[in-house]
Chain A
Amino acid sequence: DARVTQTPRDKVTEMGQEVTMRCQPILGHNTVFWYRQTMMQGLELLAYFRNRAPLDDSGMPKDRFSAEMPDATLATLKIQPSEPRDSAVYFCASGSGDGANYGYTFGSGTRLTVV
């Protein structure tokens, strides 16, 4: 089965450090999403790309978060500087153009703990 691959699986870092999370979408998928999940808020959309172009990043704290898609096989989410409130599971998801009709596939997530 085709998979969305995320690295690292787990990350523990100190407050103030830079964190970079990576995602390899399923080959051929042209829509890529970053979601964050916490117990309090559930799944929140941070940003998404279509054909590598950013379409919406309004869910992201702009001062510290950045999302890029340097090529079709890699999406990155960077936090600089990290804060304890950023502790969450970060999911990447990908889909094809009709994903809004047929759903998207999620990666296994990056569990981030900022201490």
Chain B
Amino acid sequence: RKEVEQDPGPFNVPEGATVAFNCTYSNSASQSFFWYRQDCRKEPKLLMSVYSSGNEDGRFTAQLNRASQYISLLIRDSKLSDSATYLCVVNMENSGYALNFGKGTSLLVTP
């Protein structure tokens, strides 16, 4: 079982829609959580960290549920430029430094 699991999608949504992605992780001792964004044929880029109390950055809201080992990302008012793959990331078991990536959820925002 992969340590970080995501629904691969694709999620096809119209501009302006709200879309939510979920992710589960297996390491109950994980302390660091992130969402990365990856455009086609590009490198992953940090979108936002995920904090225990939940956090928001503009149209993006991240939530963490430690009891259920579940992370979510909500995108409001979707833009065409939000089309990308969203990677759920958790620090690796037995490692304070290395990050474990989910396979990603593909989002396509259409006009």
Interface residues of A (CB under 8 A from B): 31, 33, 35, 41-43, 45, 48, 50, 55-56, 91, 95, 99-109
The answer to whether B46 and A103 touch across the interface, beta carbons within 8 angstroms, is yes
- With a 10 A CB-CB cut-off, give which of B43, B49, B101, B104 has the most chain A CB atoms: B43
How far is it, in angstroms, between the C-alpha of A56 and the C-alpha of B91 when the chains are bound? 14
Please indicate the chain A residues that have their CB under 8 angstroms from the CB of B31 in the complex. 100
Question: Cα distance A108–B42 when bound, in Å?
Answer: 6
Report 28 cross-chain contacts, Cβ distance below 8 Å, ordered by A residue.
Answer: A33-B98, A35-B101, A42-B101, A42-B102, A42-B103, A43-B44, A45-B99, A45-B100, A48-B98, A50-B97, A55-B95, A55-B97, A99-B97, A100-B91, A100-B96, A100-B97, A100-B99, A101-B49, A102-B49, A103-B49, A103-B89, A104-B46, A104-B99, A105-B46, A106-B43, A106-B45, A108-B42, A108-B43
Question: 18 additional contacts, CB 8 Å, given A50-B97, A100-B31?
Answer: A41-B103, A42-B101, A42-B102, A42-B103, A43-B101, A45-B92, A45-B99, A45-B100, A55-B95, A91-B44, A103-B36, A103-B46, A103-B49, A103-B99, A104-B99, A106-B44, A106-B45, A108-B42
Closest to A39 in B: B103
Interface size counted on chain B using CB atoms at 8 A: 24
Q: Which residues of B contact A95 (CB under 8 A)?
A: 97
Interface residues of B (CB under 8 A from A): 31-32, 34, 36, 42-46, 49, 87, 89, 91-92, 95-104
Contacts of B42 in A (CB 8 A): 108
Inter-chain CA distance A60–B94, complex, in Å, is: 17
